[in-house]
Amino acid sequence: MRGQKAGKAGASVGRRYRFPTRGRRQSVCIAEALYNAGFARLCCSPSRRALDTISPLAERIDSGVDILPALDEIDMGEWDGLLFDDVRSRYADLYGERGRALRIFVRRTEKISMTLPSVLSRC
């Protein structure tokens, strides 16, 4: 999670992306930090990494997770699950166009992602 930025070499986005070991550890750490926050309901997108992220918290507070398709992320199509380096080399002509749209999305979500380092710094 930390250090994985859209477009960064080695990073991957998409619905099938699974966290490496470090991301799973960070998800457990986040669950420990948030378990007593008094959640009435846990919701996430259908993406694999969203489920991987919220599962430790759901287990910790003994709660189910409502999967909401409305929270789904950008459909990466044939790029789903690929590393950005692979996308750049296989789809060079499309990367510039789609990459711009992805960078706009990332800028829009930066405020949310700026709150995570304080939690992740303890992981």
Dist CA 12 CA 9 (whole Å): 8
pLDDT tens track for 79-91: 877 777 888 888 8
Q: What is the mean pLDDT of residues 96-105?
A: 71
Extended strands (E) in the chain = 43-44, 66-67
Q: What is the pLDDT of residue 115?
A: 63
Burial bucket for residue 74 (CB in 10 Å: 0-12, 13-18, 19+): middle
pLDDT: which is higher, 23 or 15: 23
The answer regarding whether domain 21-120 maps to CATH 3.90.1640.10 reads: no
Domain boundaries, the chain: 21-120
Q: What is the pLDDT of residue 111?
A: 62
Q: What is the pLDDT of residue 4?
A: 39
Dist CA 71 CA 22 (whole Å): 24
